[in-house]
Chain A
Amino acid sequence: MDSHELALSSEQLLALYRTMVLIRRTEEQLARAHQMGLVPGPCHTYVGEEAIAAGVCANLRQDDVVFSTHRGHGHALAKGVSAREVAAELLGKATGCSQGRGGSMHLFAPEVGLMGTSGIVGPSILQGAGAGYSFKLLGSDRVSVAFFGDGAVSNGAFHEGINLAAIWDLPVVFVCEDNMYATEVPFREATRNQNVAERVRVSYGMNAVCVDGNDVLAVHEAAKVAVTQARAGNGPSLIECKTYRLRPHAEGMRDGGYRTVDEVESWRKRDPIATFRSELLVNKQADEAAIDAVEEEVTIIVADAMDFGRSSPFPDPATAADFIFSAQD
């Protein structure tokens, strides 16, 4: 075990574990609800990638902001949106974090710095840079984080946003979650150079590192460096996280034809939660009882969240066109 991992207290380590388990258990229930027909729209899960949201967001303050993707439940939960509000939103309820206007791909909770998940690949990078511009202009030490996948890296928004953040030294952390597939198109077929961090360093002159995205402590350490740098006014950086999505692109979709069962199984053996649990036990940073207590607490939270979602009212149809403008016409 590297020395950096010892810098975290048992409480901090268990908090990281708790965030990952909260994301996993919530999404397992959402996937089940989707199968039962209770989620009226799409549901893209983050199962297998939890270490990234947990490791990054543990370094953020509530007034820091996150711009997320279509695979954003994990970012929302890690940033502090309650499981109740996430569950209710996916079930289409008025008590959801977007009051039933968004669903899985449009989760908004500005109160805790979640500035939106998105159904479009790329804008999170640009908007993340823009929040950085605001904070710099206002003389604030707040930090902006933009999450995106490998699917965004060949998009113009990536190149334009990274470049603007670099030339203007904006307080932004770009987090590339390379899960190897843009929907079902392999990253290796989308680019001649899959080394995102290297590309960003060489082409845009931005600090960038590549880490194992299934290693929560590696992500945490890289994010700590990046967030500290941004907060101190020393400009943006990028963290490339190599990871893998264990479920289909979206719930209910066929998962074959673009990846093999063997490949999925090989990554399942590297499940970030199981791996971290073993490490905590082997390194005696937490005992079984403490870990079990976290799991039990999360199980209760998630069960309550799903109950809350199911028992909440649907939005009033009369409000379908509310909030288009800042003041109603």
Chain B
Amino acid sequence: MREITYTEAAREALAEQMAIDPSIFVVGEGIGERGGNFNTTLGLYEKYGPMRLRDTPIVERGFVGMCTGAAMTGTRPVVDFMIVDFILDSIGELFNQISKIQYMSSGRIKMPLILRGCFGIGGAAATHHSGSYYPLFVHIPGFRVALPSTPYDAKGLMRTALTGDDPVLFLEHKLLLNKRGHVPEEAYSIPFGQAAVVRSGGDATVVALTVMLQKVLAISEELAREGAEIEVIDPRTVAPLDIDTILESVHKTGRLLIVDETFGPCGIGAEISALVMENGFDDLDAPIARLNGMHTPTPYSPTLEGVITPDHAAIAGAIRNLLAE
């Protein structure tokens, strides 16, 4: 099978659906002729023109609110935030409008709207270009949250987002954008709420989100040489969260670690941990462990930035501790 990059895979799904569905349009800063700061729309402007590839002024609240009204009236907007930190300027439209309109209208108005952006720590981008924010959207009822960690998932989850009727936060970690992987040429969908068991093992379960997945897989291979078999699960979407797959794994392994680059307090790991305690307490042979990025704004200098995310040693240490419990 051919290999393409993560960005190319997501763009391929967008291009395929734009060819089929004339109600899809993209808004953002530099997503028109330029093709997007991260090449998310490269080549699409030439095909579809400015009504469907709409460059905007820097008014996140304005164009998110505008896309809300568009999604309510028969079109399918894709808001390309470029850097997802910019989404915060539109938070009222997101949490007070987009997430609530299907409910308030008793399901008579749909909200097919995609919020996409690049996120995460790396490249000394510092605190206004390194945020994650997805736990906030899990807390609020009304959002789907997709966190693809491979090119294959990026294409399949993007197609699901573009064919559903719910608002979807679709986040692409900046360190994954140029990663290559096998991606089928034909169109396919990955349903929301289906975790991937990326590696099988019976000794401990590690749930790894986005950029943490490849690190956890590499460490699992090292541990396998020492005789420990780690089961690695990528939830792929955190709203809905496929807790059943995690519970089944914990039933087998008795041990659970959640590795997530973003903040711990009230985060995805806290939620998974509570759900496993409520629904799988008797399966546990050790306390559930979490590994998160430091609870701090993201610093600039490489010596500071380098210590705030879980690195190889920290993850390996956390898994060894879990195995030793």
Q: Which residues of chain A from 90 to 141 have any CB-CB distance to chain B below 8 Å in the complex?
A: 98-99, 101-102, 106, 108, 110-111, 115-116, 118, 120, 122-123, 125-138
A161 within 8 A of B: yes
**What total count of A-B pairs have CB within 8 Å?**
153
- Report chain B residues within 8 Å CB of A325: 102, 142, 144, 166
Question: If the complex has contacts A120-B96, A127-B97, are A323 and B102 also in contact, measured as CB distance less than 8 A?
Answer: yes
Please judge, given known A-B contacts A164-B59, A325-B142, whether A123 and B51 are in contact too, CB under 8 Å.
no
| Cα of A111 to Cα of B107 in the assembled complex, Å | 12
* Minimal Cβ-Cβ distance residue in B for A158: B62
How many chain-B residues does the 8 Å CB contact rule pick out?
49
Number of A interface residues at 8 Å Cβ cutoff, please give it: 47
- Interface status of B65 (Cβ within 8 A of chain A): yes
Q: For the complex, what is the distance from the CA of A123 to the CA of B103, rounded to whole Å?
A: 17
**In the assembled complex, A59 has its CB within 8 A of some CB on chain B:** no
In the complex with contacts A120-B92, A123-B93, A127-B66, A156-B107 CB distance below 8 A:
no
Is residue B23 within 8 Å, beta carbon to beta carbon, of the partner chain?
A: yes
B104, A101: Cβ atoms under 8 Å?
Answer: yes
Are A128 and B62 in contact, with the CB atoms below 8 A?
no
Least CB distance, A231 to chain B, in whole angstroms: 15
Contacts A131-B72, A329-B240 given; indicate if A164 touches B66 (C-beta within 8 A): yes
B225 at the interface (CB under 8 A from A): no
Interface string of B30-73 (1 = CB under 8 A from A): 00000000000000000000011010110101111111111111
With A and B bound together, what is the CA distance between A125 and B23 in angstroms? Answer: 22
Chain B residues closer than 8 Å to A116, beta-carbon distance: 101, 104-105, 109
Known interface pairs A108-B109, A116-B104. Does A123 touch B65 (Cβ–Cβ under 8 Å)? yes
User: Are B69 and A115 closer than 8 Å at their CB atoms?
Assistant: yes
Shortest CB–CB separation between residue A292 and chain B, in angstroms? Answer: 38
Cross-chain contact A137 with B23 (CB below 8 angstroms) = yes
With A164-B63, A164-B66 as contacts: A130 and B107 at CB distance below 8 Å: no
Contact in complex: A127, B96 (CB < 8 Å)? no
Please state if A99 and B62 are interface contacts (CB–CB under 8 Å).
Answer: no
Are A133 and B69 in contact, CB atoms less than 8 angstroms apart?
yes
Distance of A300 from chain B, by nearest CB (Å): 28
- Determine the distance from Cα of A326 to Cα of B71 in the docked complex, in whole angstroms: 13
A158 to chain B, nearest CB (A): 10
Q: Are B69 and A137 in contact (CB under 8 A)?
A: no
A-B contact pairs, 23 of them (CB 8 A): A98-B104, A120-B97, A122-B65, A127-B68, A127-B97, A129-B69, A130-B68, A130-B71, A132-B69, A133-B67, A133-B69, A133-B75, A134-B69, A138-B75, A160-B57, A160-B59, A163-B57, A164-B62, A322-B106, A323-B102, A323-B105, A325-B102, A325-B144
Q: Interface on B for A, CB 8 Å cutoff?
A: 22-23, 25, 51-52, 54, 56-57, 59, 61-75, 77, 92-93, 96-97, 101-112, 141-142, 144, 164-166, 193, 240
With A67-B69, A134-B73 given, name 8 new contacts (CB 8 A).
A110-B108, A116-B109, A123-B93, A130-B69, A130-B72, A160-B61, A321-B141, A326-B166
